[in-house]
Every structure is written in C-alpha cells, then in structure tokens.
Amino acid sequence: MFNGILIQKDENGYHANISQIDESQLPEGDVTVQVNYSSLNYKDGLAISGKSPVVRQFPMVPGIDLAGTVIESATSKYNVGDHVVLNGWGVGEKHWGGLAQIARLNSQWLIPLPKGLTPKQAMAIGTAGYTAMLAVMALEKNGIAPHSGKILVTGANGGVGSFAIAILSRLGYQVIASTGRPEESEYLIHQLGAAEVIDRKELSEPGKPLMKERWAGAVDSVGSYTLANVCASTAYGGTVAACGLAQGMDLNCSVAPFILRGVTLAGIDSVMRPYADRVSAWERLANIVDASLLEKISAEIPLTQVIPTIAKLMDGKVRGRVIVNLQD
C-alpha cells in the first residue's frame, strides 16, 4: 500500500482525496517508479478541482510531472536504481500520474534525470520550466537573439512565466514581464532578472488588429485577448511562442500581424514532444538554471498540503513553483 491523491467521479460527485492505494491497482506499464518528488501545475489544478474536464477516466491519480527511482523494469532501457523524469504524455489525465508514492509507466515516456540535477531540482523546474525552455528554443529557432530587441513574458508570476524570465535574462535578453500582481515587481526584476514590468491590463482587453511595435518576441501562457494583443504589438519578423490558456482558449485576432509584419506564432506543445526534443530541453535547463534560482522560485510541500494549495493556485495566489515531497 502507498499514499496518493485519487480523483473519483461517482454518485457522490467529483472529488479528490488522499487515499491509500494498493499496488495491484496500478495501470499497465513496463517501468515502476518510486516517486521522490512531483509538482503542481495549472493542469493539475484543473484536474483536482474539477474546473475543467481534463481527467479522461476514473479513478485517476493526477500529477503531470514526476522525478523518481526505478524499482521494477521490464525493459532494457532502464535498470532498477536509475533516476528518471517524466513530463506529459497524458499522465495525470489518461494514465495515473505523479501525485502518488509509486507510479507504473511506459518507459518511452521517461528520460534519464539530467546530470547535475537532483530529483527535487528537476521538479522545481518541472513541466513549467521545461515548457518555458521549449518556448525559448522556438524563439531562437526563428532567429530571435538578444540583439533583436525586448522579449515579453506574460503570466510572469506563474511557473512558466517565472522560468521564461529567468532563462531569457540568463541568456542575455531584455525581458518585459506582464503580471496582474504589480506588487511582485521587485521579485520579477531583482530575483528573476526582468528589465521592466507592465500591468496585464494593458493586454487583456480587446485591442486593434495592429498596434505599436513593442517587442521582438514573446512567451505567452495566457491566450485569448492577451495573445491577440501580444501578436499585434510584435515587431516586424518577430516570433510569439504560445504555450498556455490561462485567460482562455479563444484567439480573437486578425491576420494583419502575420501578413503585414511577418510575425510567427509558434505553438508550444510539451505533452507529446519527441524524446530528442525533451532531452535537449532538459540538458539546456541543467546548464542554465542554478540551485540558487530554484530556491528563489520554488516552495516545497508534503502530499497532505496539495489539495489546499491547489485552491490557492486556481485563485492565482501561488508564485513560482510548488514541489511535492512524496518520500514521507
């Protein structure tokens, strides 16, 4: 028996609770992992709160992230004792995830823990940092360099936003941070490295098809009107990496930025990303992100605090990353 969060949908409705789970209940997979750490992401918040139907089958253990140690293996890819990381692949939605002390998984979903990172540090980065790195790599692929101009990061106080600012600033970019919490400006500038902070209200309402060119590129985790205005304010030849929908899934914009300014809208999927892309992104993260940043950007909680913390996360009251310690 082991502990985990179990989401049920039955005659009593939709509910998530800490439960004792028997190992015989685990789904199929060729690798069994003792989970050392997981983390909390916006999608985990949707799953646990039930605010969006991201969970596809019940019962379900949520948790789209995990870092742990292989304790059983039916594949030559991994041996008992190997340290591994998982992000995405529908884990926590269609397959039992990381918010439990043991997980049984498909070995193709795993990558080795990057050299230089502990399991705790890997989950301080988690899907948020991994997604931010993929977004930065998309900007680089499209020729956006530090000399190109300022880079906007929306949702700056969230996990993806925090990491995007930190990564970009460490690579020499001048970053504009957009946030709905201006009281966090000191954190964004002095801790993460943003050069400037703007209020998200500047971008969150319906705007014009084309607006003044303000940035060479952007990392957007908000979507909706914000993303439309970000594109409308991107300079000629710029790139916007879109990786979230905190404001909404809609995109009410015109084609003007794309056909008149040559702006590229690059979609960032972290869930089904090929193995080589995952390894490349994580290797970059291990080289760019240092332990001092992870301490500033993350907080650790036990499994017993996950559900109350999710309520704060969904209310936008959580800054940076939340690591879940599953070893106790």
Query: Considering the chain, what percentage of its residues have pLDDT values greater than 90?
Result: 88
**Better-predicted residue by pLDDT, 67 or 53:** 67
Residue 173 sits in the same domain as residue 255: yes
Tokens matching residue 148:
């190109």
What average pLDDT does the segment 63-70 reach?
Answer: 97
Q: Which residue has the tokens 């009281």?
A: 183
161 lies in a domain?
yes
- The CA distance from 207 to 226, in Å, is 9
Tokens matching residue 165:
């600012």
Residue 160 sits in the same domain as residue 255: yes
Residue 88 sits in the same domain as residue 139: no
Residue 143 sits in the same domain as residue 228: yes
Query: Considering the chain, what percentage of its residues have pLDDT values greater than 70?
Result: 100
Task: Tell me: pLDDT of 44 over 90.
Answer: yes
Residue 257 sits in the same domain as residue 149: yes
328 — pLDDT class (breaks 50, 70, 90) = confident
- pLDDT of the residue at 320: 80
Lowest-confidence region among 8-17, 222-231, 300-309: 8-17
**Pick from 194, 197, 203, 195: nearest CA to 221:** 203
- pLDDT of the residue at 12: 84
Residue 137 sits in the same domain as residue 212: yes
316 — pLDDT class (breaks 50, 70, 90) = confident
From residue 249, give the alpha-carbon distance in Å to each of 130, 133, 205.
21, 22, 15
Q: Is the CB of residue 34 less than 8 Å from the CB of residue 102?
A: yes
Backbone φ and ψ for 67, nearest 5 degrees, come out as: -135, 130
Task: Tell me: pLDDT of 167 over 90.
Answer: yes
Q: Is the CB of residue 156 less than 8 Å from the CB of residue 178?
A: yes
pLDDT digits (tens, 9 = 90+) for 126-159: 999 999 999 999 999 999 999 999 999 999 988 8
* Parent domain of 43: 2-113+294-325
- Residue 183 sits in a domain of what CATH number? 3.40.50.720
- Residue 307 sits in a domain of what CATH number? 3.90.180.10
82 lies in a domain?
yes
pLDDT digits (tens, 9 = 90+) for 170-201: 999 999 999 998 898 999 999 999 999 999 99
Mean pLDDT of the chain: 95
- pLDDT of the residue at 317: 83
Residue 143 sits in the same domain as residue 256: yes
Q: Counting Cβ atoms within 10 Å, is residue 185 exposed (0-12), middle (13-18) or buried (19+)?
A: middle
Residue 255 sits in the same domain as residue 139: yes
278 lies in a domain?
no
Tokens matching residue 119:
């399991």
274 lies in a domain?
no
Number of domains making up the chain: 2
Residue 203 sits in the same domain as residue 230: yes
- pLDDT of the residue at 275: 96
281 lies in a domain?
no
pLDDT digits (tens, 9 = 90+) for 269-283: 999 999 999 999 999
- pLDDT of the residue at 39: 96
**Pick from 140, 98, 120, 89: nearest CA to 278:** 89
- The CA distance from 16 to 45, in Å, is 11
279 lies in a domain?
no
- pLDDT of the residue at 155: 94
Lowest-confidence region among 23-27, 76-80, 107-111, 295-299: 295-299
**Pick from 18, 88, 15: nearest CA to 324:** 18
319 — pLDDT class (breaks 50, 70, 90) = confident
Residue 135 sits in the same domain as residue 256: yes
Helical pair 275-288 and 119-141, crossing angle rounded to 10 deg: 110
Residue 155 sits in the same domain as residue 235: yes
Residue 245 sits in the same domain as residue 312: no
Q: How far is CA 94 from the centre of its chain?
A: 18
Tokens matching residue 308:
């109350």
76 lies in a domain?
yes
What average pLDDT does the segment 58-82 reach?
Answer: 97
- The CA distance from 126 to 243, in Å, is 15
261 lies in a domain?
yes
- The CA distance from 98 to 115, in Å, is 21
- pLDDT of the residue at 318: 85
What average pLDDT does the segment 310-320 reach?
Answer: 86
63 — pLDDT class (breaks 50, 70, 90) = very high
From residue 243, give the alpha-carbon distance in Å to each of 61, 193, 279, 304.
24, 21, 19, 30
Peptide bond between residue 59 and the one before it cis (omega within 30 degrees of 0): yes
Residue 79 half-sphere exposure toward CB, CA atoms < 13 A = 1
Determine the residue type at 186.
E
215 — pLDDT class (breaks 50, 70, 90) = very high
- The three state secondary structure string of 177-229 is EEECCHHHHHHHHHHHCCCEEEEHHHCCCCCCCCCCCCEEEEEECCEHHHHHH
Task: Tell me: pLDDT of 18 over 90.
Answer: yes
Q: Is the CB of residue 139 less than 8 Å from the CB of residue 219?
A: yes
